[in-house]
Structure formats: structure tokens, C-alpha cells
């Protein structure tokens, strides 16, 4: 992948307070792609911001920083002040982390966090931190997404598995979901509440994993109450118990739909 494509613009929610000569940034986050979910999130954030005399705005950009720059350009034009910018007490520490999306997998030892980012640049795809014996993980994930009929994100796609803890292909579904969350195709907020367990075939099917009861126990002990598993193992997962809500998916497209549907139901 060596071609350079135009970065995809996304909508970001910007929360803060105009001080007249500058803007105090409180938070910035990607807006949900689903219109219903977007409206709900904006309403909730708007109520909270109004309670502290803040305001909520939306702006587009390839990254959170670009969206913030675009917003400040509009504020400069409206105020007529060429030096209008962020105040010194703005919360800027998270700007460059906003674009990262976390998905959760599990091993028999502990929960595993997968972090994905999609940034403008030449098309590339890299996964770091995977099990050293899992040598075809990138081909499997890329093929599983594209052959499922889902557009693989343009730009620099990077995935970091924080600690594989001995798990390999059981992390495929979480990895694919993290990538699609970073691309705005899956609701990132719903992803945070789910542990995704499943191997991904090169044509997008979600395949069985070994030691499913142990993986579910890990998810439960990690504080999660919802698991996304291969449809062929959903019955076994529900019998295992632990009080977990079990969602089965036969194909990656079903997994995407299930996560987005869960977001709308929150």
C-alpha cells in the first residue's frame, strides 16, 4: 500500500467556553456517525455544558487537531481578533489521543487492550504487539475487513496490542473493531463496554476461539458485562454464565451492526 489518498473528514464535538478574546477547551471527541446516537450524545453533552455555562460546537477535520484548528479559524473570523486562540488553561493534553480507539479482547490470563488510530498520510497498515507466532495477523485482518465488503480506512492505520498475554487469533475481532471504530464505522463509545472474542477469517467470518469459558471469565473479572462472540459459540457462551450479556456474530458485518445497535439502545 503506497498510494496517497485524500484523508476522510470526520465530525468532532468541541466543548468549552468562549472568553471573548480566546476559547477555553474542556473536551473534544469524535461525534457518533449514527444520526440517532449523535443527537442523543449532543443533547447529553449540551445539558452538562449548560450547567457550567459552557457551549457545545461541532466541526469537521481529518483529525481532532485539524477540526479544532478549523473551529478556531471560525471563531477568529466571528470575533474579528487575529490572535483569537486557546486560553492557557485549556485542556489540550488529550487532543492527539482523541483519534485513538480502544477495543477489548481477552486471554485466559487477563483482558487485552487493542488501540487503533487512523491518520492522514500514505496508505499503510501496521500492527505491533501481536503474538510473535501469529505471523499472518495483518493479512488476516486486512482481508477479513475488505472481503467482508467493508471499506478499509485510507491513510496510516496503526494498531497497538498493549500486551497479548499469550493470546493470538482470539484477538482478531477486537482488532478489526478497533480499526473500524477509529475510522468512524463503529460507535467507539459502545466498543468500550464490550469484550470482543473471535478469530477472523480472510473472508470476514467470525470463527470459533479456544477456551471460550476462560476468556469470558476474564472479561467478567475485568468488569465487563457484555461479550461479542462467534455465533457458533453463542449458545455455549450463554450456558457458561457469569451474568454476561452474550451477542453472537457470524460475520464481521453482523458484529459491526450489533455494536452500533447496542449504542443506539444505551
Give residue-wise pLDDT tens across range 69-93. Answer: 999 999 999 999 999 999 999 999 8
Give the whole-angstrom CA distance, residue 218 versus residue 4: 41
pLDDT of residue 266: 63
Q: How many domains does the chain have?
A: 2
* Residue 1 maps to a domain: no
- Cα torsion 176, 178, 183, 185: sign: positive
Q: Are residues 93 and 113 part of one domain?
A: no
Q: Are residues 90 and 106 part of one domain?
A: no
Give the whole-angstrom CA distance, residue 227 versus residue 245: 6
* Residue 245 maps to a domain: yes
Domain range spanning residue 145? Answer: 101-265
Domain closes at, from 33, 66, 97: 97
Q: Are residues 168 and 73 part of one domain?
A: no
Q: Are residues 153 and 84 part of one domain?
A: no
pLDDT in tens, 4-54: 445 568 899 999 999 999 999 999 988 887 788 788 889 999 999 999 999
Q: Are residues 18 and 118 part of one domain?
A: no
Domain closes at, from 97, 114, 131: 97
pLDDT in tens, 217-252: 999 999 999 999 999 999 999 998 788 999 999 999
Q: Are residues 140 and 238 part of one domain?
A: yes
Amino acid at each position: 500500500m503506497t498510494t496517497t489518498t485524500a484523508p476522510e473528514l470526520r465530525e468532532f464535538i468541541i466543548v468549552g467556553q468562549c472568553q471573548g478574546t480566546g476559547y477555553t477547551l474542556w473536551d473534544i471527541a469524535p461525534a457518533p456517525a449514527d444520526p440517532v446516537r449523535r443527537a442523543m450524545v449532543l443533547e447529553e453533552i449540551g445539558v452538562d455544558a449548560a450547567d457550567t455555562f459552557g457551549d457545545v460546537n461541532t466541526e469537521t477535520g481529518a483529525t481532532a487537531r485539524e477540526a479544532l484548528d478549523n473551529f478556531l479559524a471560525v471563531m477568529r473570523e466571528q470575533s474579528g481578533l487575529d490572535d483569537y486562540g486557546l486560553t492557557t488553561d485549556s485542556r489540550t493534553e488529550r487532543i492527539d489521543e482523541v483519534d485513538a480507539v480502544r477495543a477489548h479482547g481477552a486471554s485466559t490470563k487477563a483482558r487485552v487492550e487493542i488501540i487503533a488510530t487512523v491518520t492522514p498520510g500514505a496508505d499503510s497498515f501496521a500492527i505491533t504487539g501481536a503474538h510473535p507466532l501469529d505471523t499472518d495477523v495483518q493479512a488476516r485482518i486486512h482481508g477479513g475487513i475488505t472481503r467482508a465488503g467493508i471499506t478499509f480506512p485510507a491513510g496510516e492505520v496503526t494498531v497497538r496490542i498493549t500486551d497479548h498475554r499469550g493470546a493470538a487469533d482470539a484477538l482478531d475481532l477486537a482488532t478489526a473493531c478497533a480499526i473500524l471504530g477509529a475510522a468512524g464505522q463503529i460507535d467507539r463509545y459502545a466498543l468500550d463496554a464490550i469484550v470482543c472474542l473471535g478469530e477472523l477469517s480472510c473472508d470476514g467470518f467470525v470463527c470459533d476461539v479456544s477456551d471460550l469459558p476462560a476468556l469470558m471469565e476474564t472479561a467478567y473479572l475485568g468488569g465487563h458485562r457484555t461479550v461479542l462472540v462467534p455465533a457458533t459459540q453463542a449458545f455455549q457462551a450463554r450456558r457458561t454464565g457469569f451474568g454476561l450479556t452474550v451477542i453472537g456474530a457470524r460475520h464481521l458485518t453482523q458484529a459491526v451492526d450489533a455494536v452500533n445497535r447496542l449504542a443506539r439502545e444505551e
